[in-house]
Amino acid sequence: MKYIAYCRKSTDEPDRQILSIEAQIAEVKEFALRENLEILEYIIESKTAKSPGRGEFNRMVKLLEANKAQGIVAWHPDRLARNSVDGGQLIYLLDTGKLLDLKFPSFWFDNTPQGKFMLNIAFGQSKYYVDNLSENVKRGNRQKIRRGEWPNKAPIGYLNYHPINQAKTIIVDTQKSKHIIKAFELFATGGFAFIQIRDFLADNKVFGVNKGNKIHLDTIRRILSNPFYYGVLKYKGEFFTGVHKPIITKKLFDKVQQVINRKSKNYLSHKTDFHFLGLATCGECGSSITAEKHRKHYLRRDIYVDYHYYRCSKKKIPCHQSYLESHIFENQLRQIIFSASMSPFVAKKFLDWASDDVATETNATSGQINTLTSAILDTDSKLNNLLDGYIDKTIDPLDYQRKKNELIQYKVTTEEKIKEINNHGSSWLEPFAEFTKSALLAHKIARAKNNCDDLSIIAKTVGSNYFLLDKTIHPKFQNDGFLALANGAGVACATSHSCDYEKLLRLYVQIRTYFKSL
């Protein structure tokens, strides 16, 4: 009788009592020599047996069905099956005579009704072990999450750390985290695509699981959408406050989510020749602005020329607005973006003045901190009351989860405000600085060429809505800061040689006042 020796150990088996594949081979060889068994082939597999579908196991079954072997040698029955399908398949092979014998150094088997009964019990025990282990792991993970500990592999920018005689924890990866932070900051400006963020990380030696390979674009999106980076754990739709150190603020994270949403809505339109679809509506009837392409044949030169137009879709009421050539649409949009932008010189001036102003406000922030601290204590009280209501079953589980998520996010935002005030002296500085960076980026994009995708994205950062009326684009600016820049008659686009400092200072005070009022 010919036997197949099957040896298996997968990486997801934490039981240290299970022999390695090398040790199993040595045991099986010694056992086969002692029992005088003829081994046709050693089949090695490094895959879990929790579910059907193992390639090498299926190949072994085919060899048995083809009568090329009549028996199996394995270290223990749990090497063969830990699920009911594979275990049942082996029992069926014994019943039909395709499998005549099973040999184990650590388990007795005889091809009799009693032997098959004991084998069934062994397979059942193996399945019970896997099922019970899965439940224990899930229970342990839930407990870790409640303590604010992430039970899985740390995301890029963090490291899993296991100090000697201490519990496992997650620490900041000092090398990669600074590039992850920069990736969030770049993407928040609205001027960068997912592929550019991937290339930026690759240029700074931040790769995916396989070292040397660029991170997949889906993973880039998951990184930029992961609340872990601002200190919150999202586990099965529920938020928990993490104990790990956040590397970005929630405010930056929220801004990145806004950019992601805008990019998602405009993804299909960016795949066409028309980069500005969805950007404007008709100023006469309120219908959306659509685009079309016409090809004209010039007989004298025998050439075809394509013309691109933007026009009202006229879906609501009769409308008298005519079309606008795409290059004119683009040029008008560039002028609008440029008018609401800042030159590098002005941006630096604004940030310097803002830093000086914040330094004088630092001593006046104690009352603001006390108010925010009281709000945090009130939120903690609400969370405790919410949990009591959930335990007493007076609150629906879905309502509990929704309200808990809202309170935790509010608490994180409030804690960030306190930290921001302590670090910067006032809460208006960071949004002012972000606005200044966006205006600086708008300046660069408006002056560049052949960058319609970037122009469309930054247009949504500068303006919340645009309408087309009488072949002219009219903007509604995103906030009063961009409106002030546009009304400043180009003051913010000045250089060090053409600057009117008195007008520039008035413009700065006007914008600073707006951000202080938020």
**pLDDT tens-digit profile, the chain (518 residues):** 899 999 998 766 655 556 788 888 999 999 999 999 999 999 999 888 888 989 999 999 999 999 999 999 998 998 999 888 999 999 999 999 999 999 999 888 888 888 889 898 888 888 887 777 767 767 777 788 888 889 889 999 999 988 877 778 999 999 999 999 999 988 988 767 888 899 889 988 898 877 778 899 899 999 999 999 999 999 888 899 999 999 999 989 999 998 888 776 554 444 456 788 888 999 999 999 998 888 888 888 888 888 889 999 988 888 999 999 999 999 999 999 999 999 999 999 999 999 888 877 766 677 778 888 899 999 999 988 888 888 888 888 888 888 999 999 999 999 888 887 776 556 788 889 989 999 999 999 999 888 887 888 889 889 988 999 999 999 999 999 999 999 998 899 988 888 889 999 999 999 999 998 87
Q: Residues 6 or more apart from 495 whose CB is under 8 A from it? A: 343, 345
Identify the pLDDT of residue 364.
65
Tokens coding 185? 């900051």
Tokens coding 436? 């200044």
Torsion of CA 226, 230, 232, 235, to 10 degrees: 10
d(CA 324, CA 308): 9
Handedness of CA 56, 57, 62, 65 (dihedral sign): positive
Report, in angstroms and rounded to the nearest whole number, the Rg of the chain calculated over CA atoms.
33
Question: E strands along 367-428, which residues?
Answer: none
Helix (H, G, I), strand (E, B) or coil at 213: coil
d(CA 397, CA 387): 10
How is the chain split into domains, by residue range? Answer: 2-143, 158-268, 272-344+433-517
CATH class of domain segment(s) 158-268: alpha beta
Question: Which residue from 217, 259, 250, 185 is spatially nearest to 458, judged by alpha carbons?
Answer: 259
32 neighbors 5 (Cβ within 8 angstroms): yes
Superfamily of domain 2-143: Resolvase, N-terminal catalytic domain (3.40.50.1390)
d(CA 267, CA 436): 27
d(CA 62, CA 69): 10
Instruction: Tell me the sheet residues that pair with 172.
Output: 158
Identify the pLDDT of residue 17.
58
